[in-house]
Amino acid sequence: MDAETVHERILAAIERGWIKGPGPVSAPVTRFGVNFPNPVGLAAGFDKNARGLHAWASFGFGFAEIGTVTRHAQPGNERPRMFRLPEDQALINRLGFNNEGADAVAPRLENRPKNLVLGVNIGKSKVTPLEQAADDYAYSFQRLKDAADYVTVNVSSPNTPGLRTLQDRGPLSQILWRLREMDGTKPLFIKIAPDLNDEQIADVAALVNDLDITGVVATNTTISRVNLKQDPGQEGGLSGAPLAGRSREVLALIRQQLDAGRTVINVGGIHNEEEARARFVQGADLIQVYTGWVYGGPDFPARIARAIASPVLPR
């Protein structure tokens, strides 16, 4: 059974209540005016279509980011397109923003649970030309923002042709200006790639500061295969333990260059309690996990949240 089929069956079982978590974890924090039950979130990509909203708090998550959602429903790339790399504690995916579209997802957010902070991750539809990207993001933003505590603009997936060029200052500022004009108060984040160089990271930070954007989600998956033991020729975005070092580097860079009060959500390679604690020491306000949960088991997010709340990490 391929990795995506396993994922689909697990998500269906969670949606139906057949798989349950150990229960909520209380380690409250407040960021950008939002009260989080704890600072450990489910990263975008796991629950693309908002199917498991009622369940995420029970697994120990303090927040969940659904999506990526695009304006138009789309099937994504051809299968197989998700691959487990157990030797590396990693995944490679080239899903291509497969999702049911903003119009289908929006009604599911109306009855969202009150014990979970909700983020919505939006991306560009594959059929939309790059020069019309701002219109595409604006449609999804308008449809989904009211039910969300924050919205993340995903311009960094490696699996949609040309998408990463939207991280450049010109097109990115056009998108962000458009969304800010529509709603100047909705907390807004940019999700960036770990493959940006230092100058590009500085440009993103400057834009976040200049446009009064809430913060940055760092990072998405990587196209790098440095030190990968298993299947290095497989195309797609790499997540999991091999990304940890670069994710920490980008965290340090972006934290240094953002104005005080901006929020950094750090994701990438968080595979144990020590790694999670290190991200907060380096300046993360919140963290997200995905691949670490795949390999760490159902209680992984709860373990991470309890460890962060504890003054001494368990040995």
Q: Is 157 designated active site?
A: yes
Give per-residue burial for 249-276: e unless 16+ CB within 10 Å, then b.
bbbebbbebbeeebbbbbbbbbbbbebb
Q: How far apart are CA 238 and CA 225, in angstroms?
A: 8
Coil, strand or helix at 118 = strand
* Options 125, 140, 156, 157, the catalytic residue: 157
Coil, strand or helix at 188 = strand
- Which residues is 83 bridged to in the sheet? 92
State how far the alpha carbon of 189 is from the alpha carbons of 119, 258, 263, in Å. 10, 13, 9
Structure tokens of 46? 């796991």
Q: How far apart are CA 154 and CA 218, in angstroms?
A: 11
- Pure H helices in the chain: 3-15, 102-109, 133-144, 169-182, 198-210, 244-257, 273-281, 291-296, 300-309
CB atoms within 10 A of CB 226: 11
Residues designated as active site: 157
